[in-house]
Amino acid sequence: MTIKTNNIKKGAISVLFLAVFIDLLEFGIIIPLLPFWSLDLGATPFLYGILASAYSFMSFIAAPFWGRLSDNYGRRPVILAGLVGTVLGLGTLLLTATVFIDSLFMLFLSRLIGGFFTAATLPASQAYIADTTEGKDRAKGFGLLGAAFGLGFALGPGIGGLLSYFGGYALPALFSTVLAVINLIAAIKFLPESLTNDMKKQTMILLEPIENKPSIRSSLSKPTIFLAILLFAVISLAFSKMQSTLALLGNIRFGLDETTAGAIFFIIGLIVVITQAGLIRPLTNRYSDTTLIVTGLLFLTLGFIGLSTVSSLETMILWVIPLALGSSISNPTLSAFLSKEAPQDNSGAILGLNQGVGSFMRISGPLIGTALFEINAAFPYYLGAIILFSGLVLALMIRYFIKQSIIGYPCLRCGITLQEGAAICGRCGLEQLNYLVKTSENKLTSH
């Protein structure tokens, strides 16, 4: 059952936007500061790579768990739990900057807490959008979440660099903590539940009979779902290598500092915001999901190849433009595509798994990126281009399976087009023949 957007209070989407924005603002604020902060506390470059991966490590562990909880108990409680955790993580960061100023452990702890609870907010927010939208509006909804993602990522580094200039590491930590508290209060007051009583699961995950819900494994048996998650992993791996090494690349090539690094990430985020907030809907109205995904991957690949050659601030700005454009086109389109392919009563778990897999890649990305960087500054970007080319192959495979499924007939329950000869719907699980037999028997009995 899909809930129309107009049945949800107008403030709900705004609160969702703000929730995702704050989580990414926290992440964005720390990006240009983390290498310098950790090195000031005595970390080695390799330890910095581990620290950069800690946030994503916790997200990888927690994302499927939070996604399943949102399917069972609703989106609102999971989102609120994520926002409470965001306050805790930022509060720990603030303590690190003001009280435990020499503690590398506290810096690690703040990243671990933030990663664990952010894993609740994003997949539950995506599932919320899937609950409350349909058709082309769903892509728009994911575009708005992507815009919140991009806006947090855009403003975060700029705020972090600027505030640290005036108040060290404490001022940006204080700013983001206060904003997170305001966000939590707004969510408690204005965010309604998106699942109806029919959709919400009343039993605990460990006690729920497996036949009442399609398992993640059965959903992954559908090629388009499996390939979409794999493709998201590929993009996440490449992009995280860029995030962890871009400031280092600029520093070694032309003396990039914290403030200028923040400005570079601001440009990336600004392009993401403009694209996802203003261009995604007209693009999805005109082009198919797979066409947009392939286009985004082409831009990403071009950006990685170009960044390997940078020798000045101007050339770095030039090549981050196609990189940001490609990310802002491919990511929300891929998320919207996955939400449409996943069974509705398993969407939170699938989207949570997707974010978890992406988080695992973001664990590996900084480690691989910094290791390659020590050998040659361009190596992370050469490898990124190769990885993204493999993503193009995956996207073309998804396109092939979709074309194959078009030759068929609609499911008798959910209407999705089934491949010719398919007896069971991959989305809702309905056995077509049994449904026809039961319908016919009911009609004969009624007469």
- The 10s digit of each residue's pLDDT in 3-43 is 344 445 556 777 778 778 877 777 788 777 887 788 788 88
Percentage of the residues of the chain whose pLDDT score is greater than 70: 77
| pLDDT of 339 above 80 | no
Among the residue ranges 158-167, 169-178, 303-312, 431-440, the one predicted with the least confidence is 431-440
pLDDT in the model for residue 205: 40
| pLDDT of 447 above 70 | no
Cα–Cα distance measured from residue 387 to residue 391, given in angstroms and rounded to the nearest whole number: 6
**pLDDT tier, 428 (very low <50, low <70, confident <90, very high otherwise):** low
Taking each helix axis from N to C end, the angle separating 45-73 and 104-132, rounded to the nearest 10 degrees, works out to 30
pLDDT in the model for residue 322: 93
Residues of the chain with CATH 1.20.1250.20: 5-195+216-406
Cα–Cα distance measured from residue 51 to residue 105, given in angstroms and rounded to the nearest whole number: 10
| pLDDT of 301 above 90 | yes
Write down the pTM of the prediction.
0.68
Superfamily of the domain at 5-195+216-406: MFS general substrate transporter like domains (1.20.1250.20)
pLDDT in the model for residue 95: 94
Q: Considering only CA atoms, which of 301, 328, 299 is closest in space to residue 382?
A: 301
| pLDDT of 185 above 80 | yes
SS (H, E, C) the chain: CCCCHHHCCHHHHHHHHHHHHHHHHHHHHHCCCHHHHHHHCCCCHHHHHHHHHHHHHHHHHHHHHHHHHHHHHCHHHHHHHHHHHHHHHHHHHHHHHHCCCCCHHHHHHHHHHHHHHHHHHHHHHHHHHHHHCCCHHHHHHHHHHHHHHHHHHHHHHHHHHHHHHHHCCHHHHHHHHHHHHHHHHHHHHHCCCCCCCCCCCCCCCCCCCHHHCCCHHHHHCCHHHHHHHHHHHHHHHHHHHHHHHHHHHHHHHHCCCHHHHHHHHHHHHHHHHHHHHHCHHHHHHHCCHHHHHHHHHHHHHHHHHHHCCCCCHHHHHHHHHHHHHHHHHHHHHHHHHHHHHCCHHHHHHHHHHHHHHHHHHHHHHHHHHHHHHHHCCCHHHHHHHHHHHHHHHHHHHHHHHHHHHHCEEECCCCCCEEECCCCECCCCCCEHHHHHHHHHHHHHHHC
pLDDT in the model for residue 429: 66
Cα–Cα distance measured from residue 155 to residue 163, given in angstroms and rounded to the nearest whole number: 12
| pLDDT of 344 above 60 | yes
pLDDT in the model for residue 160: 84
The pLDDT of 422-446, averaged and rounded, is 60
pLDDT in the model for residue 40: 80
**pLDDT tier, 136 (very low <50, low <70, confident <90, very high otherwise):** low
